[in-house]
Structure 1
């Protein structure tokens, strides 16, 4: 998509963003037409202008912010039709770097560089080597949805985000295949910023370590008691009682140790999936 088509892409993004909102659960805070107060403050400061509420943002300011801070940031002019819009929309919602990371994930295995959110020579070269942009868009949107599902804010905004990404996918694929794209629609919640700072925390392995350690200690204790039982074997009653204790301690310790190892496997698996969703897993 060339620069002259920036405006049609922006029109779709603005349809998804809607007007002014200030949802306490939205990490973006006060936002108007997808521009947060923080971004607007930075823009005004760069122009040598006084701060003012994002409610008062003009359409000329909106267009300039989107062009410079999002379209140019993802190098929309250098991407093929449809792919640029999909990456552009993701950049508005979650930041340009995050959206480029989804693109890089989707370009595997052609792209062999790091998932770093930088639209560099390697990423652009891999993009040019793709011969099916329709399928690439599917993979980008899949990576985006995987990221969104791993945010703590997904229960609140997940319905809106899911609807937005579904439309972005359809519009992008239509552009990629030369068809007329459908109209974009506003779905409440879809305009909320989806930021990595709100990602779910990886599960701690501390409970697994504690359980495994306790199980190992218990098995050691059962071994000690077993030796004691052998030493007291002439005292049949005491020996029998210690034997029962040995069995109970050994079973409990084995359960703790196995449970600890099992939870560690579960925690590591969850952490790996989270890292993959956030783009922090090793290449």
Structure 2
């Protein structure tokens, strides 16, 4: 279904996720996902210590990150079964806020039970809904989610800019 290839999506993603960071305030940079607990190993190419605590994050290569994103994120979302204009939105949000959160917010946007499973019921709801409505509702869900986080004052501007960029991609993909 998606005309957006993984390689194209990955090039877009790396525009947001390229640099190494070890910001102590970001729970994703800690191996336990809890600020101040575990090791501060950071995030590089969007691959975080919280999600991949056993990886040498600082020294991860771009090709390694690409393989991880294909296997653990793109394929896990059934990305090839989702409309191109939606798939990048979902994938980017999953990487930024977590797989379960992204799936549930998309399900809320299309009016199905938010069980975190992108299966036949969710796919049917996505495919039968007006594409622009899904994009608008999903990104509204995304922004509402971010504003409720305690880290909004620190990272909110960056998240808002990221969503704005995703909306531009949605217009191109639509």
Structure 1 counterpart of 2:86: 83
Q: 2 CA distance for matches of 1:24 and 1:121? A: 40
Structure 1 counterpart of 2:162: 164
Q: 1 CA distance for matches of 2:50 and 2:134? A: 32
Q: Secondary structure at the match of 1:128?
A: helix
Q: Does 1:20 align with 2:20?
A: yes
Shift of 1:87: 0.2
Q: 2 CA distance for matches of 1:163 and 1:67? A: 25
Equivalences for residues 191-230 of structure 1 within 5 A: none
Equivalences for residues 1-283 of structure 1 within 5 A: 1-2=2-3, 5-29=5-29, 30-41=42-53, 51=55, 53-108=56-111, 111=112, 114-130=113-129, 132-176=130-174
Q: 2 CA distance for matches of 1:105 and 1:173? A: 21
Q: Runs of 4+ in structure 1 displaced over 2 angstroms? A: 37-42
Is the Cα contact below 8 Å between 2:28 and 2:51 reproduced in 1? no
Residue-by-residue CA offset, 1:220-274 (whole Å, 9 max, x unaligned):
xxxxxxxxxxxxxxxxxxxxxxxxxxxxxxxxxxxxxxxxxxxxxxxxxxxxxxx
Residue-by-residue CA offset, 1:112-156 (whole Å, 9 max, x unaligned):
xx21211122101111212x2123111111000000000000011
Q: 2 CA distance for matches of 1:59 and 1:102? A: 29
Structure 2 unpaired stretches of 5+? 30-41
Q: Secondary structure at the match of 1:68?
A: helix
Pick the structure with greater CA Rg.
1
Give the TM-score of the pair, scaled to structure 2.
0.87
Q: Secondary structure at the match of 2:25?
A: coil
Structure 1 unpaired stretches of 5+? 43-50, 177-283
Give the TM-score of the pair, scaled to structure 1.
0.54
Structure 1 counterpart of 2:34: none
Backbone CA RMSD of aligned residues: 1.5
